[in-house]
Homo-oligomer: A and B are copies of this chain.
Amino acid sequence: MARKLRQRLRDYGITIGLTETGEQNSITDVPGVSVGHETLIDGAGKLVPGQGPVRTGVTVILPHEGNVYEEKLRAGVDVQNGAGELTGSLQIMEWGVLETPIALTNTLNVGLVHDGIVDHMLKENKEVGDRDEVFLPVVGECDDSYLNDIRGRHVKLEHVLKGIKAASRKVAEGSVGAGTGMSALGFKAGVGTASRKLTEDLGQYILGALVVANFGTDHDLRVDGVPVGRELQKDEGNPSNDGSIITVIATNAPANSAQLRRLAGRVSLALGRVGSISSNSSGDIAIAFSNAERIRAREASLSQTATELSPKLLNALFRATIEATEEAILNSIFASETMKGRDDNVSPGLPIDVTLEIMKKHGKL
């Protein structure tokens, strides 16, 4: 029942920014991109470290339909506040190349999820470690210990493989996958996504964002500029949250790696808009990739060409990045029901009706 009430931001008539969305308003509007979640919810009540309750999971982003090791992509990373982990970052900063899927999970599960991506990669690439070079998986995290028995490291190798197998163009939002136990700006949050499509004169390129949102304190929430958090303050939710936000930006615009780093660098502007102060403990890390051009692993020639976008096109993608990220964060909150976790800790779902009232009062809707 309650679930029926949970719609996406835009279904309530709230739009973010000026740019048109892609077809599904999802990162998977970028052709070739798919997303898979494996959600682990089990037990309730008192924390028994190592046993539960379990409120966690893993989310995997496959950047194109093929083998991303064989056909690598250009990518860039930006770190607004580095109090978090994104394995593989140093290599992406150096080479500007993405060569594995991207997996997101809880902080203490980074190791096992990393091993899961290794397992998947080795199965797909039989010559790695023999005739072919090794690779560095890209695994990001947020801390879901407010709701989840994070000590249990409940995400195992097989959950990663299941997440990969589950990948599709349909992206569930809220308390799913890596977002299962997360909270943002004082409310239950988790996975959110959105996309933008440039106009015809700008090539109709698609850019999508996917976030795992787990940051901020409740009085800070802003919805399209409206200080919803401040007005809702009395109904205060869970205590201030020093968690993180990992953002994945995908596009089919043929940006080079330096430009993708700059796209990732616009995520911080979206964080400002929803109310983040990028707090000391928040791992605010963004990765952007383009699947427009493939880099063959065993290319023999002395050089290859890469496309560079014009400033005009880049500016349109900067705007698209900010808008899609802002909307993805809000979608992650709007999609999430109240959740009770370990030790009966509660992360309250955003009260939709009151929020819509506030939006009306501020001339929206």
Contacts and interface: CB of A to CB of B under 8 A. Distances in A.
Contacts of A128: 151
Given A277-B319, A277-B322, A87 B84 contact: no
Interface string A253-286: 0101110001001101111110011111101010
A137 interface: yes
Main secondary structure of the interface of A (DSSP, over half): mixed
Contacts of A94: 79, 81-83, 262
Nearest to A126: B49
Contact of A110 (B95, B114, B145, B304): B114
A133 B150 CA distance: 11
A13 interface: no
Interface in A231-252: 242
A3 interface: no
Contact of A285 (B90, B113, B301): B90
Interface stretch (A25-33, A305-313, A346-354): A305-313
Contacts of A18: 219, 230
Nearest to A145: B129
Interface in A204-250: 219, 222, 224-227, 230, 242
Contact of A81 (B49, B87, B262, B302): B262
A153 to B, nearest CB: 7
Contacts of A315: 277, 279-280
Contact of A222 (B225, B262, B310, B364): B225
A198 to B, nearest CB: 10
A303 B90 contact: no
A4 interface: no
A265 B278 contact: yes
Given A225-B225, A322-B277, A118 B129 contact: no
B153 A118 contact: yes
A350 B111 CA distance: 36
Interface string A75-113: 000011111111111110111100000000001101111
Q: How many copies does the complex hold?
A: 4
A134 interface: yes
Contact of A311 (B88, B89, B281): B281
A256 B306 contact: yes
A355 to B, nearest CB: 14
A65 interface: no
Specify which of A111, A136, A305 lies most central, judged by the most chain B CB atoms within 10 Å of its CB. Answer: A111
Contacts of A283: 90-91
A318 interface: yes
A122 interface: yes
A306 to B, nearest CB: 5
A272 B279 contact: no
Interface of A: 18, 47, 49, 79-91, 93-96, 107-108, 110-118, 122, 126, 128-130, 133-134, 136-137, 143, 145, 149-151, 153, 202-203, 219, 222, 224-227, 230, 242, 254, 256-258, 262, 265-266, 268-273, 276-281, 283, 285, 299, 301-315, 318-319, 322, 361-364
